[in-house]
Amino acid sequence: MPAQVPDSIRLVTLEALQQSEETPVYVSSLLTASRDPVAAAAAFNFSAVRFKQRGYDADLLETGINGLPMQSLENGYAFWSSWSGLNEMLLNRQSVAGGKSNSFAFGLPGGFTHIDMRAGKQRRQTATGYAFANRQYTHRFYYARATGFNSKGWALAYSLVSRTGSNGYVEAADYNSHSYYAAVDKKAGTRHLFSLAVFGAATRAGRQAATLQQTAQLTNNNYYNAYWGYQDGRKRNSSYSIVHQPQLIATHDYHPNSHTSVITALGITTGSRKVTGLDWYNAADPRPDYYRYLPGYAANAAQRTQLEKAWAEDEEISQVNWNRLYAVNRANTATIYSADGMAGNHITGLRSLYIVQAAVNRIFRLAANSVLNTHVGRHAAFTAGISYQRQQNRRFKQINDLLGGDWFVDWNQFAERDDPGNNQVLQNNLDKPNRLVRQGETFGYDYSLTFSQAAGFMQLVYTLPHVDLFAGGNISRQQYFRTGYMRNGLFADNSLGRSATHAFTGYGYKAGFTYKINGRHYAYIQAAVISRPPLAANVYLSPRTRNTAQANAVAETIQTAEAGYLIHAPRLSIHASAYITQMKQGMKVLSFYHDEYRNFVNYALSNINKWHGGVELAAEASVTPDITFTAVAAVGRYYYNSRQQALVTADNSEEILEKATVYSKNYRVGNTPQEAYSAGITYRSPDAWFISTTTSYTRRQWLEANPLRLTAMATDNVSPGSDEFKDILQQTEWPAQYTVNLFAGYTCKAPYKRMANTWMTIYAGVNNLLNNTRIISGAYEQLRFDFESKSRHTYPPKMWYAQGTTFYLSINFRFQ
């Protein structure tokens, strides 16, 4: 595909200048092949605190592979788990920061990254290597081969990667992932290139529970994990993430002439994601960190002291007691009458009160995309694209382990509590009442969300000697509907079958201007307006049980603008930019237990407006030919700038419990530092080795505020301006954090004559060199509030801490 005009460099020769004194001299346009320096810092230097560039969520970042968009229609996130571990095959990429022009898609405010995984784009070589680390995995083996194009126009590439680890910083968080990739290209003459690629990663990872500050102190361990316990002398985790979503992409690259290309791609994504966890029915909560089991909940000082001593001296107190769960199930003989909906079918056996269940999301996605790029005359480049995507996500629960019992009864315990004696409402599946479910079978809920989207975009780039201009627009039509596969006893007429279809039209337009002062200095400004359909998860109130949706679902509007100045000199590069983004009419649905209503509720939030603004600065200076200094600063302010509206409905009925105003205006957008700084120095020896160190510092990071305590009910009868009033409304700010990282590498030819064409590379890296174990990498406020005592501390926040010192050591061989 020929590069569009802004991505190409016009060379000016002496001969050309001599042709005419009036011939204009074109200054080269900015390149976009390399990663934005702030994005690079976000991925590496600031990763310990899960830094979000410009405060954007992942649904504002767009990703494509082989010409095909990778965003899920359900949540806007890319299927990164599909290619996890395939690092060697992801090196050929083009990144565009912000809303700049690009030759693949319209783009989003967070930027666009296109990865070319076609066989012919891989470096011709055979590579293999091994890595040892103390991070999420311990061992990594990989093998990769790419043949390049042969004389008959064929190219082949493939790779296998294995990553395993039994235990790292977190107990029982074992990790096993096996990734694969295979691709083939075939040239057909000079105008056609056909490509096929298949890749995936089968991953099974033990999960880590968020921890309370109290349990971290009780166990003297910031990495305390409440998900595991010993069973028969072996560690067993109750919660695993099990993912395998293979992808198949076929691509046709057509070049009708030297200045035009059409890339058409067709892709299929399938597979599933499962998350396992404990489940129980009318039994004591099996989680060791349940708040009623902690010293902070004790009725008096003596009990508190006793519990603190037990947590300190008895490790089993802080673990899942698998033996007790098995014992309860094996002692629970029960008779279920008219089991499985059959009169007279009375079954006696061991009824499991505790189980391990798996929440499953099974995906099938079909996507097609075609993009035209052509030069129009000397000055203009035109890009146009169309796409169609259809995706179905089927969600259900299944039995993973009955923990010694014979079966589990598919009843709704909360419905049974609220309406005892009503045999209909307690049935999760009314068409199979009193159903007994066994290992591997579906229970609880079973539904699918089906999405379709048709979209198109156009873009025109105009290049003059000292000015680049671009303008573009897009339009899309998205619709989705729910299909229930169980008739829920609570919503017998609104749960089974297909729901009404929700349809939305999205659009966007953008424009930009770059003034090319000379080949080293550039100034630019760009702006965009985007209207995005709401996500299905924020429209349906409780898709697990029924078809009911928010009545006022509207598209979210995003307005963004950016200006910047760049210097590209031989020994100095500087990128400075300022941006502002406003998001209006956002929506969200939260489901949780509400202590005031003593019921599970659906908390539908609307009118969510956010304001993001800030500046970014990145500099790289060559102090000497061997020493390079880099610095990055990202300073932003991200606020909610509206009062949100909440519609509260009971999860077990259609009843509207409350319409409330959430006084969220001027609260900070949480869970990302709003200031991040890094500085690094690298020495590259003429003898092919390097060493570098980077220091990072982040601050101004807030905890996302629980909307329940921002309502009038939370401060009812509390004196305005009092310490209690201020404490309820105060937003938690985490302390500033720092890390120091060290990396080194060495490349040489293998020291054996039989391996004359073999290169060996050794890399070593140490993250968090100073072993800072107080870094809070993520946290959330529990969606609970003690309306009786008016204390926000009854249910304290849960958090994850970043790992302390970690290392990575690898040795790699490359055969030409």
* Pair 231, 305 in one domain: no
Please determine, for residue 681, whether its predicted confidence score (pLDDT) is greater than 60. yes
With pLDDT > 90 as the criterion, what percentage of the chain qualifies? 78
Please determine, for residue 187, whether its predicted confidence score (pLDDT) is greater than 60. yes
Report the DSSP pairing between strands 442-463 and 467-484.
antiparallel
Given a contact cutoff of 8 angstroms between Cβ atoms, the answer to whether 119 and 92 are in contact is: no
Backbone φ/ψ region at 338: left (φ over 0), alpha (ψ -120 to 50), beta: left
Q: Is residue 642 part of a domain?
A: yes
Amino acid at 713: M
Token readout for 154 is 């064929």
What b/e readout covers 436-454, taking b as 16+ CB neighbours within 10 angstroms? bbeeeebbbbbbbbbbbbe
Q: How confident is the model at residue 31 (pLDDT cuts 50, 70, 90)?
A: low
Please state which of the ranges 36-50, 80-94, 102-116, 760-774 shows the lowest mean pLDDT: 36-50
pLDDT tens-digit map of 619-675: 999 999 999 999 999 999 999 999 999 999 888 888 889 999 999 999 999 999 999
* Pair 254, 302 in one domain: no
For residues 672-696, give the mean pLDDT: 95
- What is the predicted pLDDT for the residue at 10? 35
Given a contact cutoff of 8 angstroms between Cβ atoms, the answer to whether 447 and 498 are in contact is: no
H or E stretch at 309: helix 301-313
H or E stretch at 123: none
Closest CA to 41 of 52, 30, 56: 52
Last residue of a domain, one of 260, 295, 318: 318
- What is the predicted pLDDT for the residue at 471? 96
pLDDT tens-digit map of 447-502: 999 999 999 999 999 999 999 999 999 999 999 999 999 999 999 999 999 999 99
* Pair 151, 165 in one domain: yes
For residues 590-604, give the mean pLDDT: 84
Q: How confident is the model at residue 755 (pLDDT cuts 50, 70, 90)?
A: low
For residues 805 and 773, give the distance between their C-alpha atoms in angstroms, rounded to a whole number: 8
* Alpha helix stretches (DSSP H) within 208-264: 213-219
For residues 186 and 154, give the distance between their C-alpha atoms in angstroms, rounded to a whole number: 5
* Pair 191, 312 in one domain: no
Domain of 615, in residue numbers: 5-282+353-402+439-815
Amino acid at 816: Q
Q: Which residue has the tokens 């160190």?
A: 693
- What is the predicted pLDDT for the residue at 9? 32
With pLDDT > 70 as the criterion, what percentage of the chain qualifies? 96
For residues 85-99, give the mean pLDDT: 88
Q: Is residue 324 part of a domain?
A: no
For position 116, which CATH number holds?
Answer: 2.40.170.20
Q: Is residue 757 part of a domain?
A: yes
Q: How confident is the model at residue 32 (pLDDT cuts 50, 70, 90)?
A: low
Please determine, for residue 771, whether its predicted confidence score (pLDDT) is greater than 70. yes
For residues 33 and 8, give the distance between their C-alpha atoms in angstroms, rounded to a whole number: 11
* Pair 214, 294 in one domain: no
Q: Is residue 331 part of a domain?
A: no
pLDDT tens-digit map of 103-144: 889 989 998 899 999 999 999 999 999 999 998 899 999 999
* Pair 294, 220 in one domain: no
Closest CA to 278 of 151, 460, 400: 400
Q: Is residue 756 part of a domain?
A: yes
Report the DSSP pairing between strands 62-65 and 112-115.
parallel
H or E stretch at 311: helix 301-313
Q: Is residue 414 part of a domain?
A: no
For residues 579 and 613, give the distance between their C-alpha atoms in angstroms, rounded to a whole number: 6
For residues 718 and 710, give the distance between their C-alpha atoms in angstroms, rounded to a whole number: 13
Amino acid at 780: Y
Q: How confident is the model at residue 145 (pLDDT cuts 50, 70, 90)?
A: very high
For residues 298 and 302, give the distance between their C-alpha atoms in angstroms, rounded to a whole number: 8
Closest CA to 194 of 144, 245, 158, 149: 149
- What is the predicted pLDDT for the residue at 792? 87
463/39: higher pLDDT? 463
- CA separation (Å) from 757 to 156, 745, 749, 753? 21, 20, 7, 9
- What is the predicted pLDDT for the residue at 2? 39
Domain count along the chain = 2
Q: How confident is the model at residue 11 (pLDDT cuts 50, 70, 90)?
A: very low
Chain-centroid distance of CA 545 in Å reads 26
- CA separation (Å) from 765 to 462, 769, 777, 808? 44, 10, 20, 5
* Pair 187, 299 in one domain: no
* Pair 617, 716 in one domain: yes
* Pair 598, 560 in one domain: yes
Q: How confident is the model at residue 35 (pLDDT cuts 50, 70, 90)?
A: low
DSSP E strands, 47-174: 62-65, 68-69, 93-96, 112-115, 125-133, 139-146, 154-165
* Pair 79, 189 in one domain: yes
For residues 404 and 398, give the distance between their C-alpha atoms in angstroms, rounded to a whole number: 16
Q: Is residue 709 part of a domain?
A: yes
Q: Is residue 336 part of a domain?
A: no
Please enumerate in sequence order all residues whose Cβ is within 8 A of that of 715, keeping only pairs 6 or more positions apart, or say none: 725, 728, 729, 790
pLDDT tens-digit map of 49-82: 889 999 999 999 999 999 999 999 998 899 888 8
For residues 339-364, give the mean pLDDT: 96
Backbone φ/ψ region at 768: left (φ over 0), alpha (ψ -120 to 50), beta: left
For residues 472 and 459, give the distance between their C-alpha atoms in angstroms, rounded to a whole number: 4
Burial of 275 (0-12, 13-18, 19+ CB in 10 A): middle
- CA separation (Å) from 660 to 329, 640, 675, 684? 43, 17, 33, 60
pLDDT tens-digit map of 390-425: 999 999 999 999 999 999 999 998 887 778 888 899
- Computed over every residue of the chain, the mean pLDDT equals 91
- What is the predicted pLDDT for the residue at 12? 38
* Pair 314, 450 in one domain: no
For residues 717 and 504, give the distance between their C-alpha atoms in angstroms, rounded to a whole number: 43
Amino acid at 725: F
* Pair 792, 653 in one domain: yes
Is the alpha carbon torsion for 709, 710, 716, 718 positive or negative? Answer: positive
For residues 185 and 203, give the distance between their C-alpha atoms in angstroms, rounded to a whole number: 28
DSSP 324-370: HHHHHHHT-EEEETTGGG-TT--EEEEB-SEEEEEEEEEEEEEEEEE
For residues 166 and 560, give the distance between their C-alpha atoms in angstroms, rounded to a whole number: 45
pLDDT tens-digit map of 371-397: 999 999 889 999 999 999 999 999 999
Helix, strand, coil content of the chain in percent (nearest 5): 15, 50, 35
